Chains A and B, each alone.
Chain A
Amino acid sequence: MSVDLTQFIPSFLEESFEGLELMESSLLNLEQGDDETINSIFRAAHSIKGGAGTFGFNHVTEFTHLVETLLDEMRDGRRNIEADDVELLLESVDCMRLLIEAIRDERECDSEKIAENSKRLEEALAASGSVMSEALTINADDAPTDNSSDIARWQIKFIPEHHLVQTGNDPLLLFNALADLGKVSLEANTKELPTLNDIDAEELYLSWQLTLHSNASEADIREVFEWVEDECELIITKEVQDQPLEAVTEAVTVVNTLEGSSQNEQADLTPPIEAHFAEPTPKNNTDKPVSKSKNDLGSIRVGVDKVDSLINLVGELVITQSMLSELGSDFDLSKVERLNAGLEQLLQNTKELQESVMRIRMLPISFAFNRFPRLVHDLSKKTGKEIELILKGEQTELDKTVMEQIGDPLVHLVRNAVDHGIEPAQVRLAHGKPEKGTIVLDAYHQGGSIVIEISDDGGGIDRQAVFNKALEKGLVDEKTTLTDSQVFDLLFEPGFSTAKEVSDISGRGVGMDVVKKNIQSLGGRIQVESEQGKGSTFRVNLPLTLAILDGQLVRVGKEVYIIPLITIVESLQPQKELINRVSGDMLLYRLREDNVPVIPIYQLFNIPCEFEHIESCLLVVVEADGQKIGLMVDDLLAQQQVVIKSLNDNYQQVQGVSGATILGDGSVAMILDVAGIIEMALTKAQINQQHQSSVQSQITRSISAGVNA
């Protein structure tokens, strides 16, 4: 019987990471005498150690054992909870994470750091005088069985105490286990058996003399009796000469008698002993190799309540369906009203079902927030600033994919808040603020999106410094007047950093532009509010989910396309006098102070259309990456939520199209990728430029620069 243990490793890894997270957050909140917290930290370490040992990751077991020992001392009150120890434990948690990540990624990990950390743990333990000699049993069954010895004859005298069966032990099963080691014969001693009237059916009155022919060692035999050795007298002796096997029939008869008698007396009691010696060989019916998929598809843990509500809704759907099909089997016009009611119900069911299914992908944002207490703790140590982190709205739910991708941008924003936002203590005191800085992470729902706010009560953004820097970089000229928010938006320009000196925490000038890009790629946006001397707030707006999109349906010829609503600036009927025909097939539309390049969708996808001339078309002005373009369409249709289907999965990547969806009438509609279309137009303009450079350069410039033509 062999079981492939590797199939349990992903689950072990997952719970180890959870355990480490728990250890970390609890360590950060640990206070003297907080037994429950220290217990839960200990339990987490203990589970990781146990799992690691079982699945053969001995280096993790060894390292975790040290951590556990230290925690055990704290738990038993043998060691005070000092800041140094907590720091050491936090670093040890990092090491454990490294070790486990190395297992996950199937690579070696930085053993130097681990060794250094184990040494410090050992020193800490040695200082407290804890005995480290306690050997760690890595594999209990490593002891080699002595196969060299010949088959010997063992005499085993087994005299159990009367209450033995009340601990759940059953001598017969022990003998069965013994029979695995070799041939067993036995003789039961019945002389302690009281008369029928005095028998207590819950007691055991027999003792046995066993003979075992086996090459097993005495330790092997003792192991069988391991659980009962305190409740019996056990004498094991080895005989030299071999004798023929004795029959067991006699003993069986005796046992049978006992069984009969106890059943007579107390029929509802399961007889503790049964007489059959057949070896219980369990069936290996599922003993097939289980293929383990290497590529991790990811898994979600879903609350039972969510699954229950799904099942409930499916139930209702089934009811509606059966009602409708009953209606359909015998339909006449008098039942139209009922049909309508049924369809209405179906709509309701479907909507609710959709919402419930979407909820499955939703996780509380605490998953993303969890890492921040530690981050702020470490950063505040590094910078010497005292900072309190307040987390709010941790239960706000967010799509798993969005959550995974928002982590890094948030880390960057929090780092910035610590490094640039919060002032050093003396500056704070001089400004009459509390010495301790505060950073607040908040999340809440607003309409169809989720808002995450990172605010600090630091010095705020120096508007003039940002403006000067922008001047220096040539992003603005002196005469430009900008609103506050326009100035702050400059922070997200590539290579922009106002930090006077580059620290190792943040301020290398890479980052804020990446933060913005990441957020935009999730279909979100970021805004800054700041007041000098009072602090800043970075507000991130994200769509609740990536699987559903609010779209504007547009028609070109016979095709329907979907433009993501979030990208649309406005839709308008072009006025003749505002159209600029710069060259043969390039159009610019004057939209207030902007010149917006016009892209006819029919040309882009090479399809027939109803109106070829811009005057008779509608123009949808869309924006991506700060660049506006006008999409020429025949007609605007409805606005609706669409479920995004990946083109990659079903067909292949198509430039200018981000996905597809299925409309109410069953037809497929493409979802336009606005950023992609802009890029296509840009490339096209560049190619044209190479051919007719003089005429086209103006357009290319206006497309590239985007604004202020």
Chain B
Amino acid sequence: MTKILVVDDSNSIRDMVSFTLKSAGYETVEAKDGQEGLSKAQAGAFDLVISDVNMPNMDGIALCEELRKLPAFKFTPILMLTTESSGDMKMRGKAAGATGWLVKPFNPEKLLATIKRVVR
């Protein structure tokens, strides 16, 4: 089963993303910040990482950089959840090794449609 790591400091967003993914048949693991995300990533393999950018302890950009250093995450798609649709944020994400981004706010349909571009 496709396994997705969802990293966001907001409970409601994390629940929403996770619930949406689960109801679409994906398996999810949740983490509340970059730090926790990284340690959960080190403990298991994932087919996709969806991470918020603004988080305490370790933000999404740093998480992305750290993940790309792990051999198991060299090709793993990493999507950033951002509120800014500005090119600046996208460039920062890209530079850190992110695969793509999802601009908040998004609805569950959009989320599922979008991740199809990176997971099967």
Which residues of A approach B to under 8 Å, CB–CB? Answer: 1-3, 5, 7-9, 11-12, 14-15, 40, 42-43, 46-47, 49-51, 53-56, 61, 137-141, 165-170, 173-174, 176-177, 180, 202, 224, 226-227, 230, 270, 272, 280, 282-287
Which residue of chain A has its CB nearest to the CB of B112?
Answer: A1
Q: Can you list the 10 inter-chain pairs with the closest CB atoms, starting with the nearest?
A: A53-B105, A227-B100, A168-B99, A12-B12, A168-B77, A3-B108, A282-B24, A282-B25, A283-B25, A54-B105
Taking CB atoms, residues of chain B closer than 8 Å to A176 are 116-117, 120
The answer to whether A227 touches B99 (Cβ under 8 A) is yes
* Bound: A428/B100 CA distance, A: 63
**For residue B87, which residue of chain A has the nearest CB?**
A230
CB-CB under 8 A from B74, the residues of chain A are: 166, 202
Q: Is A137 within 8 A of B78, CB to CB? A: no
A1 B13 Cβ-Cβ under 8 A: no
Question: Are B24 and A5 in contact (CB-based, < 8 A)?
Answer: no
State A703–B112 Cα separation when bound (angstroms): 72
Q: Does B85 contact A (CB under 8 A)?
A: yes
Chain B min CB distance to A655 (Å): 44
B65 close to A (CB within 8 Å): no
**B70 interface residue (CB < 8 Å to A):** no
A177 and B117 contact, CB distance less than 8 A: yes
The answer to whether A50 touches B105, judged by C-beta atoms less than 8 angstroms apart, is: yes
Q: State whether B100 touches A3 (Cβ < 8 A).
A: no
Q: With a CB–CB cut-off of 8 A, which chain B residues contact A168?
A: 75-78, 97-99, 118
**CB contact under 8 A between A180 and B113, given known A3-B23, A50-B10:** yes
Closest to A36 in B: B56
Most interface-central of A173, A202, A272 (chain B CB within 10 A)? A173
Q: Is the CB of A61 within 8 A of B105?
A: yes
For the complex, give the distance between the alpha carbons of A50 and B56 in Å.
15
Q: Are B25 and A51 in contact (CB under 8 A)?
A: no
Which residues in B have their C-beta under 8 angstroms from that of A15?
A: 10-12
Q: How far is the CA of A61 from the CA of B108 in the complex (A)?
A: 18
Q: Residues of A contacting B78 with CB < 8 Å?
A: 168
Q: How far is the CA of A51 from the CA of B10 in the complex (A)?
A: 8
Which one, A47, A54, A169, A287, contacts B99 given CB within 8 A? A169
- In the complex the two chains form, what is the Cα distance from A170 to B56 in whole Å? 31
A55 with B118: CB separation less than 8 A: no
Tell me whether A165 and B15 are in contact (CB under 8 A): no
The interface bits of chain B over 73-105 (1 if a CB of A lies within 8 angstroms of the residue's CB, else 0) are: 011111001010100000000100111110111
Closest chain B residue to A175, Cβ basis = B117
B110 adjacent to A141 (CB under 8 Å):
yes
B84 CB to nearest A CB, Å:
9
Shortest CB-to-CB span from B82 to chain A, Å, is 9
Q: How far is the CA of A224 from the CA of B101 in the complex (A)?
A: 12
- A238 shortest CB reach to chain B, Å: 22
Ordered by A's residue number, 24 sampled pairs between the chains whose C-beta atoms are within 8 Å are A1-B109, A2-B108, A5-B107, A7-B19, A43-B9, A43-B56, A46-B83, A47-B9, A53-B105, A54-B12, A54-B16, A54-B107, A140-B85, A166-B74, A168-B78, A169-B100, A174-B117, A202-B74, A227-B99, A272-B75, A280-B116, A282-B112, A283-B24, A283-B25
Contact of A8 among B15, B94, B103, B106 (CB under 8 A): B15
In the bound assembly, the distance between CA atoms of A174 and B116 in angstroms comes to: 8
Give complex CA distance A173, B76 in Å: 13
- Asked, given contacts A3-B19, A11-B11, A140-B103, whether A173 binds B119 with beta carbons under 8 Å apart, the answer is yes
What total of chain B residues lie within 8 Å of the partner, measured CB to CB? 47
B83 partner residues in chain A, CB cutoff 8 A: 46, 49-50, 53
List of B residues within 8 angstroms of A8 by Cβ: 12, 15-16, 19
The smallest C-beta distance from A220 to any residue of chain B, in angstroms, reads: 11
Nearest CB of chain B from residue A252's CB, rounded to whole Å = 16
- Is B58 in contact with chain A by the CB < 8 A criterion? no
Q: Return the chain B residue nearest A54 by Cβ.
A: B105
In the assembly, what is the distance between CA of A7 and CA of B15, in Å? 10
Q: How far is the CA of A177 from the CA of B104 in the complex (A)?
A: 20
Residues of A within 8 A of B107 (CB): 5, 54, 141
Interchain CB contact under 8 A, A286 and B22: yes
Chain B minimum-CB-distance residue to A225: B117
Q: Does B41 contact A (CB under 8 A)?
A: no
**Distance, CA A138 to CA B104, complexed state (A):** 8
Residues of B within 8 A of A11 (CB): 11-12, 15
Residue on B nearest A227 in the bound complex, by CB = B100
Assembly CA distance A2 to B23 (angstroms): 9
Which residues of chain B are near A141, meaning CB under 8 Å? 106-107, 110
Contact A170 B118 (CB under 8 A): yes
Q: Is the CB of A165 within 8 A of B116?
A: no
CA distance A282 to B109 in the complex (A): 12
Compute how far the CA of A174 lies from the CA of B97 in the bound complex, rounded to whole angstroms. 18
* Interface bits B13-56 vs A (CB < 8 Å: 1, else 0): 10110011011111000000000000000000000000010111
Residue of A nearest to B26 (CB): A282
Complex Cα gap A168–B99 (Å):
5
CB-based nearest A residue for B67: A168
In the complex, the answer to whether A1 meets B19 with C-beta atoms within 8 Å is no
A-chain residues with CB within 8 Å of residue B23 when the two chains form the complex: 1, 3, 284-287
Which residues of chain A are near B116, meaning CB under 8 Å?
173, 176-177, 180, 280
CB atoms of B25 and A46 under 8 A apart: no
Q: Which of A51, A56, A61, A285 has the most CB of B within 10 A?
A: A51
Chain B residue at minimal CB-CB distance from A228: B100
Q: Is B105 in contact with A3, judged by CB distance below 8 angstroms?
A: no
How far apart are B13's CB and chain A's nearest CB, in angstroms? 6
CA distance A226 to B83 in the complex (A): 16
Closest partner residue, chain A, to B72 (CB atom)? A270
Task: List, in ascending order, chain B residues with CB within 8 A of A56's CB.
Answer: 105
For the complex with contacts A47-B9, A141-B110, 19 further pairs of A-B residues with Cβ separation under 8 Å are A1-B24, A3-B20, A43-B9, A46-B54, A50-B10, A51-B12, A54-B107, A139-B105, A140-B85, A141-B107, A169-B77, A169-B117, A173-B120, A224-B117, A280-B116, A282-B112, A284-B23, A284-B25, A285-B25
Give min CB distance, A296 to chain B, whole Å. 15
Q: Please indicate the chain B residues that have their CB under 8 angstroms from the CB of A230 in the complex.
A: 94
**A43-B25 in contact (CB<8A):** no
With the chains together, A227 CA to B100 CA distance in Å? 5
Q: Which residues of chain B are within 8 angstroms of A2 by Cβ–Cβ distance?
A: 108-109
Name, among A12, A167, A174, the residue most crowded by chain B CB atoms within 10 Å (CB to CB).
A167
Q: Which of B10, B12, B13 neighbours the largest number of chain A CB atoms within 10 Å of its CB?
A: B12
Residues of chain B contacted by A40 (CB below 8 angstroms): 56
Q: Output the nearest chain B residue to A272 by Cβ-Cβ distance.
A: B75
Shortest CB-to-CB span from B86 to chain A, Å, is: 8
Q: Which residues of A contact B85 (CB under 8 A)?
A: 137, 140
What is the CA–CA distance of A166 and B67 in the complex, to the nearest angstrom? 12
Q: How far is the CA of A559 from the CA of B105 in the complex (A)?
A: 64
In the complex, the answer to whether A50 meets B104 with C-beta atoms within 8 Å is yes
- Chain A hits for B75, CB < 8 A: 165-166, 168, 270, 272
Q: Looking at B98, B108, B120, which has the most chain A CB atoms within 10 Å of its CB? A: B120
**What is the bound-complex CA distance between A280 and B98, given in angstroms?**
23
Asked whether, in the complex, the Cβ of A55 is within 8 Å of the Cβ of B54, the reply is: no
Knowing A50-B10, A51-B12, say if A227 contacts B117 (CB, 8 Å).
yes
- Give the CA-CA distance A283 to B116 in the complex, in Å: 14
Q: Point out the residues of chain A lying under 8 angstroms from B117, CB to CB.
A: 169, 173-174, 176-177, 224, 227
Q: Which residue of A lies closest to B110 (CB)?
A: A141
How far apart are B71's CB and chain A's nearest CB, in angstroms?
10
Q: Are B25 and A53 in contact (CB under 8 A)?
A: no
